[in-house]
Structure 1
């Protein structure tokens, strides 16, 4: 697994695609936080990063599929997966190595956003007038959200040889997993089943953690979600006939 992890991470960091993708992510996020009037921190009148933590999930829906789309699809297209299969590696080594490499890149994309926290911390009328506990909880929520989206991206990349198709499938699944269940509950109006449908979606658990409360049920949800998609991906690899 460590071998795959190092190989994938080196491949990401030696490619301009990763830098361009993360760069666009940070630029667009900066525009939402400081320029666009509806979401600008400067127009809020108080020290908060709510707009940051409400915007990043939707940017993640495009950033993470762009990172993961080549993970397995490129291996299948170029026929290099057979080389991996000849090495003393299990399917779990391959899946976890690629998953952790992509997740590390997502973490790298989040680190520069700490500049926004420092800026708001300094810009408050009273220095440090910001709920740091909620910010920490929100970052934990973002990391877990990123982990869930990466598992979706790895799965999507495992079912096709085309990176664009893998990207499109991952974007759709990320969007549906984040807000699709909540939207379905509003459309279907299933009364007592509304809360169950909403609970199946990622957004409900992300919002809960973002309030600074680490509930074991939310952590278990994210862990189960990630394991489920990785398990399905491993099953697909196990039944490969490439």
Structure 2
């Protein structure tokens, strides 16, 4: 476990000490701020019973920038080290493959969570400045960030897997984005074809849009929790197999 923590600390430093990491944090903060401002303007134009969190995250604009976070965070995890040759040195060191994969994955996931910390302040900011009550409840806020974390855990695993497949950061980023876009558009199959065909329940079960909409209302469903944790574990297992194959191939 101490080896895992040492590797995790090393990977976290590569995020924190890299200016590009802070660019990602700034981009998330800016994009979420635009989303909150747009939602609040919508409240002025058309009063709604929905909470601020629901309106902010329940829009195609949110998904556009949200899915782009993961290629940016994960594309360099294995691909950059493979290209520079440092991955070979790491894999020949007295560390286990699962420690290498786990440290890179956890570092990316921790950084993903850190990038969302400023957004918590943004949701409170309007109430502090205008002295108005918050347009959301703690339950809605907590459930929303829970599903964002679960999706982040699964989508970060996808990015790790894509990065382990290639030595090109660009290809790794494109593979990650392609898979996440596929997951996103699968959720629109019942909308396009209707909900009367056989197997529609499967598409509803894996629809990330439905999951976020449900949790943003303050409702916690155990099915998405199991789905995202299972997806993360499965993809990480595949990543382990790819990296371990490279290790013994050398």
Deviation at 1:12, TM superposition (A): 0.9
Aligned residues: 237
State the match for 1:2 in structure 2: 5
CA contact (8 A) 1:41 1:49 kept: no
Q: Which residue of 2 aligns with 1:140?
A: 146
Tell me the equivalent position of 2:29: 26
Unmatched runs of 5 consecutive residues or more in structure 1: none
Change beyond 3 A, Cα 1:148–1:57 = farther
Deviations 1:153-207 (A, max 9, x none): 1111011110011111111111222x22223344555712112222133333333
SS at match of 1:44: helix
Q: Segments of 4+ in structure 1 off by > 6 A? A: none
Q: Tell me which moved more, 120-129 or 74-83.
A: 120-129
**1:48 aligned partner:** 52
Q: Find 1:221's aligned residue among 199, 217, 227.
A: 227
Higher mean alpha-carbon deviation, 126-135 vs 104-113, is at 126-135
204-213 or 156-165: which moved more?
204-213
TM-score, length basis structure 1? 0.88
The one-character-per-residue Cα deviations of 1:92-122 (angstroms, maximum 9, x if unpaired) are 1111110110111111111000122212444
| Residue aligning to 2:208 | 202
Aligned-pair CA distance for 1:126: 5.3
CA distance 1:80–1:125, shift in 2 (3 Å): closer
Gaps of 5+ in 2: none
Cα pair distance change 1:56/1:101, threshold 3 Å: farther
The separation in 2 between residues aligned to 1:167 and 1:200, in whole angstroms, is 22
Is 1:99 paired with 2:105? Answer: yes
- TM-score normalised over the length of structure 2: 0.85
CA contact (8 A) 1:186 1:194 kept: no
Query: In the alignment, which residue of structure 2 is the partner of 1:160?
Result: 166
